[in-house]
Amino acid sequence: MKINQLTKIFGLSLLMAFTACKKYGYEVPDGYPDDSQNVAQGAIDTNMKVIDKSMYAKARVFPGLVDQSEPRVKDAQFTLDLNFTDQTAQNLRISVAPSPQYSTGYYAAPGELIKLVVPAGVEGLTVQIGAHTDNLAGKSPLLRDPVIYNRKLLVAGVNYIRNLYGGHIYILASFAYANPITFTITGAVVSPDFILGQTADADWVAKVKASQVPWLELRAKRVIFTIPRDKVLATFNSSEPFTNPTAVFSKWNDVFDLDYNAWMGLSDNAPDIRDRSPQSQWRGILDIQLTNGYGHNGFPFVGLNDSYWFASFTSLNSITTSSGQWGTYHEFGHNCQQGNVWSWSTLGETTNNLFSFKVANRIGANYNILHPAVSSGFPKAITYASGSGAKNFDTDAAMNAVDEAPFMKMTPFVQIFEKYGYGAMTYLYSQARHADRLNSSDITKHNFVYEKLSDYTKIDLSPFFGAWGISISDAVVAKVGAKYPALTTALWTYNPLTKTGGTGPITYTTTLVSISSSQSGDGTPAALVDGIVNASSFWHSNYGTAIPTNTVGYPINIVLGTGSPIPIAIKGVTFAQRQNNSAGYVKDVEIFSSTDNINYVSVGTTTLPQNTTVYNFNFPTGNVSTKFIKVVIKSGVNATYANLSECNLIKP
């Protein structure tokens, strides 16, 4: 049977008249779709006097209750500018980007109903109560309920929402509005927030002292921190009272303007949306329990509610010296990593920390105070890079010490910044945002960093990457080598902590990789690359009384290594006949080049002079980029054996 409209209105009036005895009313679903077992049991009553106290005990523990003496507002208005450019993590190609979450300046007391009036024609907005958005499902033991925030889609007109745990009230926007929007709110309390450029320090201190709201926000153009009021009050009688938020947050704005946004090549009015700075603020918050670790990145970034993280947000000394700031910069750095383009798999705890060095460089802070492992990790990494032999930056145990690996692996980046300018990072980030495609493998990410840093420095940095054992593709080396001159100084020996080293010439010692014939007890193959030309330094091929597997007769293969882990330019080969035995002089040779010691191509043939004069054979095609040179002796004076004093590489 249908009920007429008048009957429905009458029934609704009766329902509203008898709500005081009801735990729940109607219209807005209550409860939380989470693991806290707060099952929805009905609907919220629109009687503003009704308070759901079912979670008071838990809310008292965290995030805290609001004293009844704190005035609740009625029909208060606030205006938000929702005209934003949504900078997603996808178009910035970073891990996490700030989303359009707007602080209202109001706080909902636990269990109390909030009435929010949205102007006609305004859609696509959501209200959120509660800043603590970590879902602690599965954690044990729990220090607070798993989910203590809630959200509701707003409609034009009157909206009601409550949070059993209370919290700051936010408006979340899914799209922009050209003109500011004015909302009307009832039932909330005013949060004693500080807003840079709007709130005087003394007025803010007075508001904090007078307020009974457990949490407050510190807001600047680039960042918002949510902190507990009791910790602010505790500082007022400490050695560093937090009474100077203007100074502190002016510095925080500098950090995000200069050392995050600008360093990544982002600006507010960039023509290309990919190069615009985030239009919403980064957010950081303190919590008594985290989903992961002592602090973790995300939006918001979360730190444990202790004195360290609180000071990292609020201490002027900390932010002006970079002392004690490692954790905060570290987590925001995680948000800004470009792991899909160039920050490869073993740099997860490395490239995020580069922002700490950028801040320290700008303010003139000592790198040694950034983190205890910096002072030990950098020298160890430089020793590794300065060593010889085969290396693998990503897997070698020497670069993967438990406590020092992230700091060792950031050393090559800081070396580039210190010697060629911190703009190298800006170029890297900008190129990554505009790259035609993402990179799915470590080798393609290695290649990207090598090519882009070489483009920035206008120098072929392949020797630098080789010294560090960062593998790069031969094709990319050839491409870069065709554009720029090769690095000539041992950049990998530069120590950013002492500002010394890195200026010496690059020297590679030729190695004898293999030889197909040698006579035991009659000369030594090592003599071919010792740089000595005299009667006592020589090699002699096998003539039948040495190891049976050695070749007797021709051809005889001598494989020389450049001493470099990546291809370098080789000009030719220098020869010297044995100085006191012309019977074994070498005649005809052919020379081959290879980057892998498997696939060889011929680069020239020559006939050695039949005398003791040193003979330099330069490749007819010019310098060859290679890692291995094979000298094939095809004939000699003697039909079965040969000898030489020297067979070495000529480097440009």
d(CA 319, CA 316): 5
Residue 523 pLDDT exceeds 70: yes
Q: What does CATH list as the number for 511-650?
A: 2.60.120.260
**What pLDDT, on a 0 to 100 scale, did the predictor assign at position 3?**
33
Q: Tell me: the pLDDT tens digits for 216-275? A: 999 999 999 999 999 999 999 999 999 999 999 999 999 999 999 999 999 999 999 999
Residue 565 pLDDT exceeds 80: no
Q: Tell me: the pLDDT tens digits for 293-330? A: 999 999 999 999 999 999 999 999 999 998 888 999 99
d(CA 397, CA 342): 23
d(CA 300, CA 131): 8
Amino acid identity, residue 588? D
d(CA 439, CA 426): 19
Instruction: Read off the pTM.
Output: 0.83
Q: Is 153 helix (H, G, I), strand (E, B) or coil?
A: strand
Amino acid identity, residue 576? A
**What pLDDT, on a 0 to 100 scale, did the predictor assign at position 45?**
73
How far from chain centre, in Å, is Cα 85?
24
d(CA 201, CA 236): 13
Beta bridge partners of 283: 224
Total residues found in the chain within this entry = 652
Q: How many CB atoms lie within 10 A of CB 629?
A: 27
d(CA 541, CA 521): 11
**What pLDDT, on a 0 to 100 scale, did the predictor assign at position 43?**
63
Same fold: 337-493 with 511-650: no
Helix axes 442-457, 411-420, angle to 10 degrees: 20
For the chain, the domains span 46-309, 337-493, 511-650
Q: How many CB atoms lie within 10 A of CB 489?
A: 17
Two tokens, residue 612 = 């003791």
d(CA 589, CA 633): 5
Two tokens, residue 538 = 């020589």
Beta bridge partners of 633: 556, 589
Q: What does CATH list as the number for 337-493?
A: 1.10.390.30
- Locus of tokens 């080396």: 477
Which architecture characterizes domain 46-309 according to CATH? Answer: Sandwich (2.60)
**What pLDDT, on a 0 to 100 scale, did the predictor assign at position 550?**
66
**What pLDDT, on a 0 to 100 scale, did the predictor assign at position 544?**
74
Q: Tell me: the pLDDT tens digits for 57-110? A: 999 999 999 999 999 999 999 999 999 887 899 999 999 999 999 999 999 999
Burial grade of 571 (CB within 10 A; 0-12, 13-18, 19 or more):
middle
Q: Tell me: the pLDDT tens digits for 569-621? A: 899 999 999 999 999 999 999 999 998 899 999 999 999 999 999 999 999 99
